[in-house]
């Protein structure tokens, strides 16, 4: 028999294993192993982490984080805990978005809910984020800032009735005291605080004073910034490129400020704190505020 007559497959050296058998065995084996470990006998979860919680419980966890922050102001701890929730995107903005949902779905109908959302607002506002809760829950609606003032009312003094005893006529003309009516009125503010919004940039307090229509700026009005041990007064309209009713004030880091229109408005309900913050790009900056006063008449 010549060599040419032998089929080629008999000319190759025979392998000690079957490639097809190996491939088939691996596929079936791995498949069976995964089916067993993922389907029949998965790893028993004994250490559930916050990111594995349901959405509702994540929300409660988030609220607890901001409530805790309200007590200790430990931003690092709060951020670490938020990161543990593995929220999509910017975790601080996620707090703002959650506060928005809570503020609009009736969660704030009781004091506890309101406290919770306020703590969330304070948290994200300090980091320069905004959310719809800022509009839904007014900045000046803090129950703790309500001050009851007992205003003394004028006592009406009745004119005594005319005496029945005739008085002798006198030749001397008695000068009649001049009666001067002094109109009295309750102290009334000309302007009301409309909103306080925060941003994270250069630590500036930007004040806008507007007419009742909410858009026309009013120049030449005095604004006062007070802090522990000092105050500064500045006026609207000195930077016309920013608008007629605009004025601003540069804060110093770590200091708290009260802003008001002296004698014409109440001060902001809580101090504006120049606290460090982190911008969305990750840069360190200082909290800024935009304060709007509006004429009430």
Partner 1 sequence: MSRFLLSLAAALIVGVLIGLYIGWVQFPTQTIDSPASALAQRYKDDYTIMVADGYRADGDLSGALERLRILNVENIPAFVQETAERFITNSRDLEDIRALVILAEGVGRLTPIMQPYRPLGQGS
Pick from 231, 191, 182: nearest CA to 209:
191
In the complex, what is the shortest distance from the CB of residue 61 to partner 1, in angstroms, rounded to a whole number? Answer: 6
Residue 86 C-beta: closest distance to partner 1, Å = 10
Number of residues assigned to the chain: 297
> Which of 34/296 has CB closer to partner 1?
34
Comparing CB distances to partner 1, the nearer of 120 and 292 is 120
The nearer residue to partner 1, 119 or 273, going by C-beta atoms, is 119
- Taking the CA atoms of 59, 60, 65 and 67 in sequence, report the sign of the dihedral they define: positive
Exposure b/e, 235-272, CB count within 10 A at least 16 = b: ebbeeeeebbbbbbbebeeebebbbbbeebbebbbeeb
CB of 29 to partner 1, least distance (A): 2
Contact residues toward partner 1 (CB under 8 A) are 16-38, 42-43, 45-50, 52-54, 56-57, 60-61, 63-65, 67-68, 70-72, 81, 111-113, 115-116, 119
Question: Is residue 210 exposed (0-12), middle (13-18) or buried (19+ Cβ within 10 Å)?
Answer: buried
Angle at 115 between CA 111 and CA 119, to 5 degrees: 170
Nearer to partner 1, 141 or 280 (CB): 141
Nearer to partner 1, 27 or 202 (CB): 27
Q: Least distance (Å) from partner 1 to the CB of residue 53?
A: 6
Minimum CB–partner distance for residue 106 and partner 1 (Å): 15
């Amino acid at each position: 028999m010549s060599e040419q007559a032998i089929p080629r497959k008999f000319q190759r050296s025979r392998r000690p294993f079957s490639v097809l058998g190996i491939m088939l065995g691996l596929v079936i084996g791995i498949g069976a192993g995964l089916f067993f470990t993922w389907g029949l006998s998965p790893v028993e979860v004994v250490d559930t982490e916050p990111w594995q919680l349901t959405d509702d419980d994540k929300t409660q966890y988030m609220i607890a984080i901001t409530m805790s922050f309200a007590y200790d102001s430990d931003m690092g701890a709060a951020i670490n805990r938020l990161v543990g929730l593995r929220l999509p995107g910017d975790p601080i903005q996620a707090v703002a978005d959650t506060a928005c949902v809570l503020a609009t779905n009736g969660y704030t109908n009781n004091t506890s809910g309101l406290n919770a959302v306020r703590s969330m607002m304070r948290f994200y506002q300090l980091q320069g984020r905004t959310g719809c809760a800022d509009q839904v829950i007014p900045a000046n609606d803090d129950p703790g800032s309500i001050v009851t003032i007992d205003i003394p009312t004028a006592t009406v003094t009745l004119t005594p009735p005319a005496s029945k005893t005739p008085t002798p006529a006198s030749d001397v003309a008695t000068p009649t005291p001049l009666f001067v009516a002094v109109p009295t009125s309750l102290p009334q503010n000309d302007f009301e605080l409309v909103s306080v919004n925060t941003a994270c940039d250069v630590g500036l307090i930007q004040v806008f004073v507007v007419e009742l229509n909410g858009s026309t700026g009013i120049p030449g009005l005095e604004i006062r910034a007070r802090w522990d041990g000092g105050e500064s007064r500045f006026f609207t309209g000195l930077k016309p490129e920013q608008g007629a009713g605009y004025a601003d004030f540069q804060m110093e880091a770590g200091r708290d400020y009260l802003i008001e229109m002296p004698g014409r408005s109440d001060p902001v309900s809580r101090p504006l704190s120049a606290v460090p913050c982190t911008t969305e790009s990750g840069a360190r900056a200082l909290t800024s505020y935009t304060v709007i006063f509006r004429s009430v008449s």
